[in-house]
Amino acid sequence: MSYCLNPICPNPENLVNSQSCQSCGSQLLLRDRYQAIKPLGQGGFGATFLANDRGLPGEPSCVIKQLRPSGSAPHVLQMARELFEREAKTLGKIGNHPQVPRLLDYFEDHEQFYLVQEYISGDTLQEEVKLNGILTETGVKQFLSEILPLLQYIHEQKVIHRDIKPANLIRRTQDARMVLIDFGAVKNQVTQGAISQSGQTALTAYAIGTPGFAPPEQMAMRPVYASDIYALGVTCIYLLTSKTPKDLDYNPNTGEMIWEQLVQVSDHLSNVLRKMLDVSVRNRYQSAAEVLRALEIEPYLESLAKGLLIKSDTGSKERTHNHLENSAVLCNNSSVAVTSAGVAQVAAAIRARRAKAAEAAGSHHASGMGKSTTLANSNSNGSQVQNSKVERKLDTQGLLTAYQKGRRDFALHNLSLLNLQGADLSGTNFHSTQLQKTNLQGANLHNSDFGRASLSKANLKDANLTKAYFNHADLEGADLRGADLSNAYLSNANLRGANLCGANLTSAKISDEQLALAKTNWMTIRPNGKRGLL
């Protein structure tokens, strides 16, 4: 089916190969490229559609968000345009993270505003709880260890999400990773109301969040980073009780939710949640890093160490979910290892604390580098690679053919020793993939995810690695001479012996300690944009 995007079309459904709408005559191929297939949801700001990108081989799926201003007056269109551009800039700023949908395109067409985003398939947390029931304490800790590093990254980009809740968190089918959706400032319908005496317009009075999940300061239009911490705490209460905020009682004197008698968790986790949910922003955790540190305490670590596998047993049927951002496909029955950086951090902390308690010989870094657990093998910088899962193999031609047909997910594959020189593999998921000694010289790897991948001794000379994601990747001994790593995310990556001579690291997320382990020269462009040695 081809779906008409004209907001006033009386009968928008058309045959799949139709060029124009049989009902209103509108062109069905948006920007001569995007073909809407079906609506996913509708809200105050407009509507969201599942679509195919006919401009790419394989016509991969994508999501179209359409803003529909409620009037054509110049000031209304200007407000709509500013709201639209605000969301596009936000997505562009944070979209190189593998747990955030990528912004693929944005444009204005016939006074309608469009965002085209990566399509994410999977169940929302809300749907998971409805299907499988509430989570245990260990399950909630696993969830926090996966989402908190993502939240920390978002806040580092000076972005406050403002609407964290179970319906906006999707466990992606292909790799079981948690994805945070709906970064839109565009939530309320833009009306033709005049500017009020307070100077507030439809532009400034947008989206204060979901009642019950948003803390008092956010409802008062003064959100801070700690506001997202509060919403995350409310989400945890939902995971432990299956109750939304409107189903809970509140203390009439303090305004705090009454939840502790409804859950069976340790005093340690109760204390952490209590501080996340403090109605006073001053008493609340101020950052995701603070919550992570609070969770990495001995009473917590033992239980998490025993629960690093998540069991997903939700059947294989497919459903369409009526939310604004994505449709969802249920995971097949399988056990999926949690591969998030957060779990790796906690697992590393477990090893470090045990080693310290036993006064074991040897040096351990502050992040807990040490021997690997039985669940995963550690590379030389202490990051976890799920080797038991890296068993799918492809040859060079098979990989390139799959990519040309629209496939972008090669996570957990063994691609070592392949010759991919000059290949166009931009926007690809190589999370936890084996790429040792792979030839990627001159390849286009823009915006690709190499999180926790093993790239030891890989040839990345002159490769385009702009906005690539290398969190906890192993790049030991890799040849990165002349590579463009501008705006790349290299935090926690192992760069021991990596050759960065002549590489461009402008605005890359990388520490001086990491650079000190790599080879650089006077041609290396530092993150500050200047050439030269440290």
Query: Residues with catalytic annotation?
Result: 163
Question: At residue 298, what is the residue type?
Answer: E
Q: How many CA atoms lie within 13 A of 254 on its CB side?
A: 9
| Contact predicate 258/248, CB 8 Å | yes
The reply to whether 165 sits in an annotated binding site is no
Concatenate the DSSP letters of all residues of 128-162 into one string: HHHHH-PPPHHHHHHHHHHHHHHHHHHHHTT----
| Contact predicate 103/208, CB 8 Å | no
- Residue identified by tokens 């670590």 is 301
Other Cβ atoms less than 10 A from the Cβ of 188: the count is 16
Torsion angle defined by CA atoms of residues 245, 247, 253 and 259, in that order, rounded to the nearest 10 degrees:
-80
Looking at residue 169, what DSSP letter applies?
A: E
d(CA 169, CA 175): 14
Looking at residue 375, what DSSP letter applies?
A: S
Other Cβ atoms less than 10 A from the Cβ of 282: the count is 7
d(CA 385, CA 378): 6
Q: Which residues contact 384 (CB under 8 A, 6 or more apart)?
A: 339, 343, 344, 347, 348, 372, 373, 375, 376, 377, 378, 452, 472
Q: Which residues contact 61 (CB under 8 A, 6 or more apart)?
A: 50, 51, 52, 53, 119
Q: What φ, ψ does residue 42 adopt, rounded to 5°?
A: -145, 140
Other Cβ atoms less than 10 A from the Cβ of 311: the count is 12
Q: How many CA atoms lie within 13 A of 79 on its CB side?
A: 27
Would you state the structure tokens that stand for residue 448, as one six-digit string? 């690709």
Q: Which residues pair with 118 in a beta bridge?
A: 62
Q: Which residues contact 72 (CB under 8 A, 6 or more apart)?
A: 111
Radius of gyration, CA atoms only, the chain? 24
Distance between first and last Cα of the chain: 58
Q: What φ, ψ does residue 423 adopt, rounded to 5°?
A: -70, 150
Other Cβ atoms less than 10 A from the Cβ of 247: the count is 11
Q: For Cα atoms 437, 442, 447, give the angle at the middle one, nearest 5 degrees.
A: 90
Q: Helix (H, G, I), strand (E, B), or coil: what is residue 316?
A: coil
H helices present in 213-338, as ranges: 216-219, 225-241, 267-276, 288-295, 298-305
Q: Which residue ranges make up the annotated binding site?
A: 65
Q: Which residue ranges make up the annotated binding site for ATP?
A: 65
